[in-house]
Structure 1
Amino acid sequence: MAETTRRAQTPTERIRERAPRVVVIGDLLLDGWWSGTIGRIAREAPAPVVDLNAREHVPGGAANTAVNLAALGARVAAVGLVGDDEAGRILREALADAGVDVSRVRAIAGARTTTKVRVSAGEQVIVRIDDSEPDPWPAPALDALIDDVATASADADAQVVCDYGSLLGDEIVERLAALPRPALRVVDAHDARRLRALRPELVTPNAAEAELLAGESLGSGEQRAERAAELSERIREAAGARAAVVTLDRDGTVLLAPGATPVRTRAHPYPEKQASGAGDVFVAALTAAHASGEPLESAVALAQRAADVAVQRVGTCVCGLDELERAAGAELAVVDQDLLAARLDEHRARGDRIVFTNGCFDVLHRGHTASLRQAASLGDVLVVAVNSDASVRRLKGEERPVNGERDRADVIAALACVDYVTIFTEDTPRELIRRLRPHVYAKGGDYTPEMLAETAAADEIGAEIAILDYVADHSTTQIIGRIREVASDGARR
């Protein structure tokens, strides 16, 4: 038995510790964000005149994915081609300033660096001006690109291939497919069918791109996730990928993996911002987490959170590890049962001793915290299952719970001794115990093993049953009763 609780490592801590080496290959763009005011209409045409007061240039496309990976603590090398022009110089300098290795970003004489300038007034983008190279990249530059990919990938943990249609022609894809590769390859492409030969572990199409892969419409709204799950095999097969994460903008994502139940994440939409590149943030966080050893389900959840953070700001999206860590907090500790099962499998593989307990935790009090600290001391990882609102009503009556299920779960997740929290809908967590297979089932001291409905389930999986010390005169019912007495006395006065 562990004498002290060793808190489970969070996904962000794992990225920070591992600092994975990632190679980003693809279309390196320069984004421009120009803003000003409109006070008149042009004489020569019915067009608004924007008086500029600010200009900003930042990496875009594959370059933004590289910047986000660096911001998340990865060691990043960018591989690609830019023009030997002012835009190319600005882009290379911006990448280097962000901590990206640009030694394999080649500036090609006579070529033009693709730029995308957004001009806005107030909070509205008025126009986007795209300036790109119309001619193919010269053959010697593409030969050098292949050599650079091979060199940069030799000691990499992961490779991200970002394809927007201007760099990776069919011949280059075939040559890339023949090269040695890292254990993890992620493809983010407008048309992943073109990159099928790369046989990626993971592709990240949006809804429209998934429809290209599936060959049919996904519908609209929440229906898209359900339809993508039904078409999982077709989507993955068309992309040549082991797994796919279909991103559904404001509706979150759905993870499609062979032989597994599709896993959803939910976005936290914010009012519309002038933001671009949330998909780059998602891909970067997903890659950094998975390359650091985080299970795919957990990596997707972290990537969703990173995208939620990034879209709150105007401009090309970037999310750093520190702000992701702050934003994740308790939210990453409250997980659904699919994700929790995957995380606990990993803990078991590391030899961690898993402790499980449950309760309503309607009004948190000293009896609860004492029991949870004691439960945590029985192993390495403490999992707390919280009754859903409907379950509490069935057990405690229609006037309960006082606090909703998510509020109760978040409060429990904020306790230092707790590693994971999940919400269950049944009256007792018997099926959840069977599924999660903890080493210890712990319950408050006002019970005996014979009284517990969960005893049979614990016995089936060989779990030890631990009865925790009882803290007298501390119960939720008593506390609610005292609050009502005080309120009643105040009303009479």
Structure 2
Amino acid sequence: MTADVRLVRDLVATVDDREPLVVVIGDCILDRWTVGKAERVSREAPAPVVRVTETIAVPGGAANTAVNARALGARVRMVGLIGDDESGRVLRERLETAGVDTTYLVEVPGARTTTKSRVVGGDRVVVRVDELAATPDAHAGARLAGAVARAVRTADAAVVCDYDLGVQPEDVVPVLDRDRPSAVVVDAHDLTRWAALHPDLVTPNSGETAGLLGRDLGAGSARVPVVVDARDEVLARSGARAAVVTLDRDGTVLLERGADQAFRTRATPASEQQASGAGDTFCAAATVALAVRAPLRDAIAVAQAAADVVVREAGTSVCTAAALVESVTAPAATVVDHDDLATAVEAARAAGRRVVFTNGCFDVVHRGHTTYLRQARELGDLLVVALNDDDSVRRLKGPERPINTAEDRAGVLAALACVDLVTVFATDTPIPLIERLRPEVYVKGGDYSPEMLQETGVVRAYGGEVVMVDYVPEHSTTAVVRRIREAAAATAAAAAADAGTDGAAVDTAPATEPDPAP
């Protein structure tokens, strides 16, 4: 699932109305990005020489979670340890500029603030240099516990961000046990450290989940069934009521106690090699949603949409409420011409994404269509739907079709969460478009077999795969149109009878036989 327009709009409006208080507790990091052009290799060592054009410093780690939560409309208090050094001062200033309350930051005299500095040459990170804070002493831990106690009063939600850089469970868990907000989320490298807190939600990535289970999860989409099968073990070891495992380009899997089926979201992968902090954004958005008591699955869907926003940006980025709404309310950008489609498919393939292609008339979209499109989306990372134009529909279906214009049909398909790109074609078959795009998977729904399709030979010739997905009986477009006409005819006949006529002029015959295709 991907968050739909109404869900995102309603959540953003609720957050704006209630202004929930979110407390972020954890390891604060200052992210520095030094950006320039890498034009040659140094004579001193086999390393690129970067001519610097820009240096920026932004909140990272738990501090990035805090600024994302604030950008989404929550009131935010940041609790963490920083040094009394320049990096600490810059980090505090950046947080305050973003609107985060830094009253509860604990400044440790003589300590270093964790800083991660990246040098970017051209389009990639050349090197990252980490300056890590020392493990805090007992006095600093006691001060942190006091800050947590003050910050969580009247809070709607608390999120713990533990990157193994200083924040200790023994300083935080007893405080949250005494004064627990309605939602507690934990994002930690080692979730077992926080099991005693019994979080409402934990957000491990693939590597952290593998560490929690003590075994490899596999690669790509093959990780999904492994994670689903390990639900009870993940929840038991983390002590959590629910866990959402983030699987980068494969989206997320939500594990809930007692749920019959795991809930999934789909990611929108990006090729941006400089992107950082999407996990912080995901965690922030989920926490903000839970702070206004959104259902857990809605919170996860919105969090995925927020993470999709920032992976398209370079550096450590922030998803604002406005950007989140815009990302789900611009379906027109999904409808593209053939040239733009070819460019998008090429970029997706370069990023390692698997392209799925299907086509049809999609005149009156019904449950049969949506079922088969969801199944098609499961087969890859980018679903392209090619739509017959109005003239070709008339040639295929008869002069009374289409019911809806190509523009309307494209707009409806573009609004479906499972559809990534829509294009319109004028030929009777999509073969010319298939030959140009060469999708990895060609999908058809209905009661076809591959041997019935002209496209099968073309796809198999370049090494593609042809897949037939389930047919949903009694859900063809022609059947829907027939039922509408029959209902209209019955109504007209009844009206004619009431008026004393025989209704002989009413046409009750279906236009054509039911069609097995979209």
TM-score, length-normalised on structure 1?
Answer: 0.69
Report the CA distance between 1:301 and its aligned residue. 0.9
More divergent stretch after superposition (117-126 vs 48-57) = 48-57
1:28 aligned partner: 28
SS at match of 1:447: helix
**C-alpha separation between the residues in 2 aligned to 1:398 and 1:144?**
76
Distance 1:399 1:300, change over 3 A: farther
SS of the residue aligned with 2:178? coil
CA gap 1:238/1:390 in 2 versus in 1, 3 angstroms: closer
Give distance in 2, aligned partners of 1:113 and 1:234. 36
Give 3-state SS (helix, strand or coil) of 2:472's partner.
coil
Are the equivalent residues in 2 in contact too, given 1:176–1:198 (CA < 8 A)? no
Correspondence 1:426 to 2:472 = yes
Q: Residue by residue, what CA displacement relative to the aligned partner does 1:295-335 show, whole Å, maximum 9, x if unpaired?
A: 1111111111111111111010210000101112378xxxx
Gaps of 5+ in 2: 1-5, 332-359, 374-392, 418-469, 476-482, 492-505, 513-518
Question: 1:381-434 deviations in whole A, cap 9, x for unaligned?
Answer: xxx964317889xxx999579879986444589xxxxxxxxxx963458xxxxx
CA contact (8 A) 2:106 2:147 kept: no
Q: Which residue in 1 is equivalent to 2:203? A: 204
**Aligned partners of 1:190 and 1:209 also within 8 Å:** yes
Given the superposition, is the C-alpha separation of residues 101 and 126 from structure 1 closer, same or farther in structure 2, using an over 3 Å criterion? same
* Alpha-carbon distance change, 98 to 446 in structure 1, aligned in 2, over 3 angstroms: farther
- What's the CA shift for 1:176? 4.0
List per-residue Cα deviations over 1:358-397 (Å, max 9, x = no partner): xx99447xxxxxxxxxxxxxxxxxxx964317889xxx99
Distance 1:399 1:240, change over 3 A: farther
Deviates more, 1:190-199 or 1:137-146: 137-146
Match of 1:71 in 2: 71
Unaligned residue ranges in structure 1 (runs of 5+): 1-6, 332-359, 365-383, 414-423, 430-442, 452-471, 479-493
Structure 1 residues 65, 207: closer, same or farther in 2, change over 3 A? same
Higher alpha-carbon deviation: 210-219 or 238-247: 210-219
Cα deviation, 1:441-475, whole Å, max 9, x if unaligned, reads xx958528999xxxxxxxxxxxxxxxxxxxx99xx
Is residue 141 of structure 1 aligned with residue 161 of structure 2?
A: no
Residue 447 in structure 1 maps to residue 470 in structure 2: no
**What residue in structure 1 maps to residue 300 of structure 2?**
300
Structure 1 residues 399 and 153: alpha-carbon distance in aligned structure 2, compared to 1, 3 A threshold: farther
Partner Cα distance (2:239, 2:275) in 1: 31
Q: 1 CA distance for matches of 2:241 and 2:416?
A: 36
2:111 maps to 1:121: no
- Percent identity, aligned pairs only? 45
Residues 245-260 of structure 1 mapped to structure 2, 5 A cutoff: 245-260=244-259
CA distance in 2, matches of 1:152, 1:185: 14
Give the C-alpha shift of residue 82 in structure 1.
Answer: 0.3
| 2:15 corresponding residue in structure 1 | 15
> Deviation digits for residues 251-297 of structure 1, max 9, x if unmatched?
00001101111011111112233110000011111111122122111
> In the alignment, is the contact (CA less than 8 A) between 1:78 and 1:105 conserved in 2?
yes
After TM superposition, where is structure 1 displaced by more than 6 Å over at least 4 residues in a row? 389-392, 400-406, 448-451
CA distance in 2, matches of 1:178, 1:292: 21
Q: Give the 3-state SS of the residue equivalent to 1:387 in structure 2.
A: helix
Structure 1, residues 63-103: CA drift from partner, whole Å, max 9, x if none? 00000000000110000110001100000000000010000
User: Using the alignment, how far apart are the partners of 2:409 and 2:262 within structure 1?
Assistant: 24
- CA spacing shift, 1:389–1:186, aligned 2, 3 Å: closer
Tell me the distance in 1 between the aligned counterparts of 2:312 and 2:511. 41
CA RMSD for the aligned pairs?
3.4
Are residues 1:388 and 2:388 paired?
no
Q: Which amino acid aligns with 2:28?
A: L
Mapping of residues 296-375 of structure 1, within 5 Å: 296-329=296-329, 362-363=362-363
Q: Counterparts of 1:131 and 1:477 in 2: how far apart (Å)?
A: 73
Tell me how far 1:132 sits from its aligned partner: 1.4
Q: Distance between the aligned counterparts of 2:92 and 2:142, measured in 1?
A: 20
**What one-letter code is carried by the residue in structure 2 that aligns with 1:226?**
P
Label 1:398 to 1:112 Cα distance change in 2 as closer, same or farther (>3 A). farther
Deviates more, 1:185-194 or 1:321-330: 321-330
Measured after TM superposition, the shift of residue 10 of structure 1 is: 2.1
1:216-275 Cα shifts (integer Å, max 9, x gaps): 222221121111111001001100000000000000000110111101111111223311
Alignment of 1:178-327 (within 5 A): 178-260=177-259, 261-327=261-327
Secondary structure of 1:31's partner? strand
The aligned residue for residue 484 of structure 1 is none
